[in-house]
Amino acid sequence: MVNPINYEEKRFIIVNDISKTLFYFFDFDTRSNSRHMEFEHFHSYYEIHILLSSNALHFIKGIPYHIQMNDFVLLPPSLLHKTSYPEGEPSKRLVITFMYRKDGYGFADSYEEILAPFHAPLPIYRFPDEQQSVLAGLINQIVELSRLAGTQELTGAYELTLHSIFTEFLFCLNLFRDKNIYRKEHVEDTVSERIYAVSNYIHTHYMEELTLDDLAKEAWMSPYYLSHQFKRVTGYTITHYVHLVRIRNCQFLLINSRKKITEIAADCGFTSFSQFNRVFRKFCGESPSDYRKSRFPSTEADASGSEARQTPADGQDPVSAKLQS
């Protein structure tokens, strides 16, 4: 019998904030079909999505994956993704976000090892009962630790203990990765399957020139039929979708790199800087330089000037704005 994760709606466990070198946020909450994210988004931190209801869809780089209760979706920084929940009762889920220093506090190789499952080609994990119970038990230890601490002022010892338990959790995830029994479900609609393949192609080739004719060849469809079916399946025109993918990746680089804005535009597939500025303003409501400055007030317009901060795509602190995944 599986040891369940102890769910308590709207329980938040917070250690530090996204400006610190050690940051944790555990978010127990519900999401409904009416609160879909419109398009895939990224984070500058690591995220673990654990579904605690029957089923949902998780999109990673344009491809939908069916997930079920107790599945772990491991999301490294910059990976575009979104969750789509079924109609009816709101779905329970736990989202854990965290970030460590790049030097791994002197254990860089060890942290790289335990974070390896996040960088798998398909980072979705479904475990047999024995392994699932171990992982749930470690999460429950963290919840109980938080409950015992209550409203007391959190100490360094509390942070260290939580960090120790969570590190063991990551170690076990990596230890159990070969026990993963998750398999992608086959999509019966072959047209939709081909459209998702095209959307994934856009996600992995956005830095290149993408023409309708080239995408149609990838899908083995006529350009007209592809355009019609792409809008039906994704809800976006191809041009709109390509722009969104490029702008999302530009946003990430603006926040997390020191590159000049002209370099970022070129790296993300824009052949005209004026077009890039126009498209960026359309989707973000501000210029690329203002976008960067608003997240790093002390920096110049064409350089981030600091190490990457853990800032979500919309620029809001997840502790105050709440996670939407």
- Could you state, in chain order, the average pLDDT of each consecutive group of 10 residues for the chain (325 residues)? 87 83 91 69 91 93 93 93 89 94 84 95 96 97 91 81 96 97 82 90 95 93 95 92 94 90 96 94 92 67 34 37 40
The pLDDT value recorded for residue 3 is: 83
The pLDDT value recorded for residue 225 is: 96
H-only helix segments in the chain = 108-114, 129-149, 156-176, 190-205, 212-219, 223-234, 238-256, 261-267, 273-284, 288-295, 318-321
The pLDDT value recorded for residue 301 is: 36
> Could you tell me the fold of the domain covering 11-184?
Jelly Rolls (2.60.120)
The pLDDT value recorded for residue 13 is: 92
> Quick one: how far is CA 288 from the chain centroid?
22
The pLDDT value recorded for residue 298 is: 45
In this structure, the dihedral spanned by the alpha carbons of residues 39, 44, 48 and 52, taken in order and rounded to 10 degrees, is: -40
The pLDDT value recorded for residue 263 is: 96
Distance CA 76, CA 49 (A): 11
The pLDDT value recorded for residue 48 is: 98
Crossing angle of the two packed helices 223-234 and 190-205, in degrees rounded to 10:
90
The pLDDT value recorded for residue 314 is: 35
Whole-structure pTM value = 0.80
The pLDDT value recorded for residue 124 is: 97
Q: Residue 177 has what DSSP assignment?
A: G
Q: How many residues are present in the chain?
A: 325
Correct CATH for 190-295 of 3.40.1260.10, 1.10.10.60, 3.40.50.10860, 3.40.50.300: 1.10.10.60
Burial class (CB in 10 A: 0-12, 13-18, 19+), 5: buried
Contact 82, 71 (CB under 8 A): no
Closest listed residue to residue 255, CA positions, set 288, 207, 282: 288
Distance CA 292, CA 287 (A): 9
Q: Do domains 11-184 and 190-295 have the same CATH topology?
A: no
Domain regions of the chain by residue span: 11-184, 190-295
